[in-house]
Amino acid sequence: MTVRVRVCHLYPDQLNIYADRGNIAVFRSRAERRGYALDVIGVGAGESLAPDSDLIYLGGGQDREQALIAPDLARRGDEISAALADGAALLAVCGGYQLLGRGYRDRAGVEMPGAGVLPLDTIAGDRRMIGDVSIECELEPGDTHSVVGFENHGGRTHLDPDAVPLGRVVHGFGNDGGSGFEGCRLGRAIGTYLHGPLLPRNPWLADWLLSQALGRRLGEAPDLEPLDDELEHEAHAVALGRARVRGGKFR
Binding site for ligand GLN (CB under 6 A): 17, 60-63, 66, 94-95, 124, 152-155
From the candidates 8, 94, 137, 184, give the one annotated as an active-site residue: 94
For the CB of residue 116, give the shortest distance to ligand GLN in the complex, in Å: 18
For the CB of residue 173, give the shortest distance to ligand GLN in the complex, in Å: 11
Cα-Cα-Cα-Cα torsion 96, 203, 169, 63, nearest 10 degrees, comes to -20
Question: Would you say 106 or 207 has its CB closer to ligand GLN?
Answer: 106
- Cα within 13 Å of Cα(182), Cβ side: 30
Q: Based on DSSP, count helices (H) and strands (E) in the chain, helices before strands.
A: 6, 13
Q: Which of 217, 205, 222, 201 is nearest to 148 (CA)?
A: 201
Helix axes 22-32, 203-218, angle to 10 degrees: 60
94 is catalytic: yes
For the CB of residue 153, give the shortest distance to ligand GLN in the complex, in Å: 3
Q: Are 180 and 174 in contact (CB under 8 A)?
A: yes
Which residue type sits at 186? L
Question: Would you say 22 or 222 has its CB closer to ligand GLN?
Answer: 22
Position of minimal CB gap to ligand GLN: 60
Question: Would you say 175 or 212 has its CB closer to ligand GLN?
Answer: 175
Question: Would you say 95 or 167 has its CB closer to ligand GLN?
Answer: 95
Strands 4-10 and 167-171: unpaired
Cis, peptide link before residue 197, omega less than 30° from 0? yes
From the candidates 9, 153, 171, 195, give the one annotated as an active-site residue: 195
For the CB of residue 62, give the shortest distance to ligand GLN in the complex, in Å: 5
The catalytic site residues sit at 94, 195
